[in-house]
Chain A
Amino acid sequence: MTGSESLTLDLAVRPPSKAGWQRRERLIAALFLAPGMIYLFAMAVYPTVYSLWLAVHNYTIYRPDLVSYAGFDNFNDLLNNEVFSGSFFVTVIYSAAAVALELVIGIAVAVLLDRKMRGIGLFRTLLIVPVLISPVGMGLTFRYILAPTYGLLTYLCHRVGIPTADWMASATWALPAVILVDVWQWTPFVALILLSGMQSVSVEVVEAAELDGLSEWQKLRRIVLPLIRPVLMVVVLIRLIDSIRVFDMVFVLTRGGPGTATETLSVFSYVTGFTEGDMGSASALAWVMVVFVNILVFFFLRALSKAEG
Chain B
Amino acid sequence: MTLAFEGIEKVYPNGFHAVKRLDLQIQTGEFFTLLGPSGCGKTTTLRMIAGLEMPTAGRLLIDGRDFTRIHPRDRDVAMVFQSYALYPHMSVRENLVLNLKVRRVPAAEIAPRLAEISRILGIDQLLDSKPARLSGGQRQRVALGRALIRRPNVFLMDEPLSNLDLKLRERTRTELKKLHERMPVTTVYVTHDQAEALVLSDRICIMNGGELQQVGTPQDVYDRPANMFVAKFVGTPSINLLPVAVGAGEGGLQLRLAKGGHPLDGAVMPATGEVLRRLDQTRGRAVLGIRPEAVALDDEPGAGSLPGSVGLVEPMGSVNHIVLGIDGSEEVTVDGEPFIAVVRSNERYAHGQPIHVSLRPDRLLLFDEQSGRSLAALSPVGSWELA
Complex A–B touching at CB under 8 A: yes
Shortest CB–CB separation between residue A47 and chain B, in angstroms?
A: 36
Q: State whether B54 touches A19 (Cβ < 8 A).
A: yes
B70 touches A7 (CB 8 A): no
List, in ascending order, chain A residues with CB within 8 A of B133's CB: none
A21 to B70, CA, bound (A): 8
Q: Which residues of chain B in 55-84 are interfacial with respect to chain A, using CB atoms and an 8 Å cutoff?
A: 56-57, 68-71
Note all chain B residues with C-beta closer than 8 A to A1: 20-21, 211
Instruction: Determine how close the nearest CB of chain B comes to the CB of A11; give it in whole angstroms.
Output: 5
Q: Are B56 and A3 in contact (CB under 8 A)?
A: no
Contact with B along A18-30 (1 / 0, CB 8 A): 1111100000000
Q: In the bound complex, how far is the Cα of B126 from the Cα of A255, in angstroms?
A: 66
Interface residue from B54, B57, B69, B211 paired with A7 (Cβ < 8 Å): B57
Does chain B have a CB within 8 A of A16? yes
Hey, what's the 0/1 contact readout for A181-213 against B, CB within 8 Å counting as 1?
A: 000000000000000000000000000000000
Question: A80: CB under 8 A from chain B?
Answer: no
What number of B residues sit within 8 Å (CB to CB) of A? 13
Q: Judge whether A16 and B20 touch: CB under 8 Å.
A: no
What would 10 A/B residue contacts be, using CB atoms closer than 8 Å? A1-B20, A1-B21, A1-B211, A4-B21, A7-B57, A8-B17, A11-B56, A19-B70, A20-B69, A22-B54
* A14, closest chain B residue (CB): B57
For the complex with contacts A19-B68, A21-B69, 18 further pairs of A-B residues with Cβ separation under 8 Å are A1-B20, A1-B211, A4-B9, A4-B20, A7-B57, A8-B11, A8-B17, A11-B9, A11-B11, A16-B56, A16-B57, A18-B54, A19-B54, A19-B69, A20-B69, A21-B70, A21-B71, A22-B54
Identify the closest chain A residue to B7 (Cβ). A7
Quote the shortest CB–CB distance from A131 to chain B (angstroms): 31
**4 closest Cβ pairs, A-B complex:** A19-B69, A21-B71, A4-B20, A11-B56
Question: A4–B19 Cα gap in the complex (Å)?
Answer: 10
Q: In whole Å, how far is B72's beta carbon from the nearest beta carbon of chain A?
A: 9
A233 to chain B, nearest CB (A): 28
Residues of A with C-beta under 8 A to B17? 4, 8
Across-interface contacts of A4 in B (CB, < 8 A): 9, 17, 20-21
Smallest beta-carbon distance A230→chain B, Å: 25
- Bound form: Cα–Cα A19–B68 in Å: 9
Q: Kindly provide the distance from the CB of B60 to the nearest chain A CB, expressed in whole angstroms.
A: 12
| Contact between chains at B57 and A11 (CB < 8 Å) | yes
Name which residue of chain B comes closest to A20, CB basis: B69
User: What separation, in Å, do the CA atoms of A15 and B56 have in the docked complex?
Assistant: 8
Chain B nearest Cβ from A53, distance in angstroms: 40
A residues near B211, Cβ cutoff 8 Å: 1
**Bound CA span A81–B96, Å:** 73
* B6-41 interface bits toward A, Cβ cutoff 8 Å, 1 = contact, 0 = none: 000101000001001100000000000000000000
Query: What's the Cα separation between A16 and B9 when bound, in Å?
Result: 11
CA A235 to CA B73, docked complex, whole Å: 45
Cβ-defined contact, B9 with A7, below 8 A: yes
**Which residues of B sit under 8 angstroms from A21, Cβ to Cβ?**
69-71
Question: How far is it, in angstroms, between the C-alpha of A177 and the C-alpha of B9 when the chains are bound?
Answer: 68
The distance from the CB of A20 to the nearest CB of chain B, in whole angstroms, is 7
Residues of B within 8 A of A16 (CB): 54, 56-57
Shortest Cβ distance from A22 into B: residue: B54
Which chain B residues (108-122) contact chain A, with CB distance < 8 Å?
none
Chain B residues within 8 Å of A15, by CB: 56
- A7 surroundings in chain B (CB, below 8 A): 9, 21, 57
Least Cβ–Cβ distance between A75 and chain B, in angstroms:
45
A79–B195 CA distance with the chains assembled, in angstroms: 78
Across the interface, do A3 and B54 meet the contact criterion of CB distance under 8 Å? no
Chain A residue contacts of B68, Cβ below 8 A:
19
Q: Which of B56, B68, B211 has the most C-beta atoms of chain A within 10 angstroms of its own C-beta?
A: B56
A43, B2: Cα distance in complex, Å? 56
Roughly how many angstroms separate A16 CA and B1 CA in the complex, as a whole number? 27
Q: Smallest distance from the beta carbon of A246 to chain B beta carbons, Å?
A: 42
Q: Give Cα A20 to B21, complex, Å.
A: 24
Distance of A1 Cα from B20 Cα, bound (Å): 9
Which chain B residues border A3 with CB–CB below 8 Å? 21
Hey, which chain A residues are within 8 Å of B54, CB to CB? 16, 18-19, 22
- Nearest-neighbour CB distance to chain B for A76, whole angstroms, equals 50
* Nearest residue, chain A, Cβ from B17: A8
Q: B160-215: which residues lie under 8 A (CB-CB) from chain A?
A: 211
Q: For the complex, what is the distance from the CA of A3 to the CA of B21, rounded to whole Å? A: 9
- Chain A residues, CB < 8 A from B11: 8, 11
Closest to B209 in A: A1
CA distance A8 to B57 in the complex (A): 10
User: Please, what's the 1-or-0 string for B350-371, where 1 marks a CB less than 8 Å from any CB in chain A?
Assistant: 0000000000000000000000
B20: A residues at CB distance < 8 A: 1, 4
Give min CB distance, A24 to chain B, whole Å.
Answer: 9
Write the nearest CB–CB distance from A22 to chain B, whole angstroms: 7
Distance in Å: Cβ of B370 to nearest Cβ of chain A: 15
What are the residues of chain B within 8 A of A8 when measuring CB–CB? 11, 17
| Closest-CB distance, A6 to chain B (whole angstroms) | 12
Residue-wise interface mask of B (143-168) relative to A, using a CB-CB cutoff of 8 A (1 in contact, 0 not)? 00000000000000000000000000
Q: Give the docked Cα–Cα distance between A7 and B21 (Å).
A: 9
B243-274 interface code vs A (CB 8 A; 1 in, 0 out): 00000000000000000000000000000000
CA distance A4 to B56 in the complex (A): 12
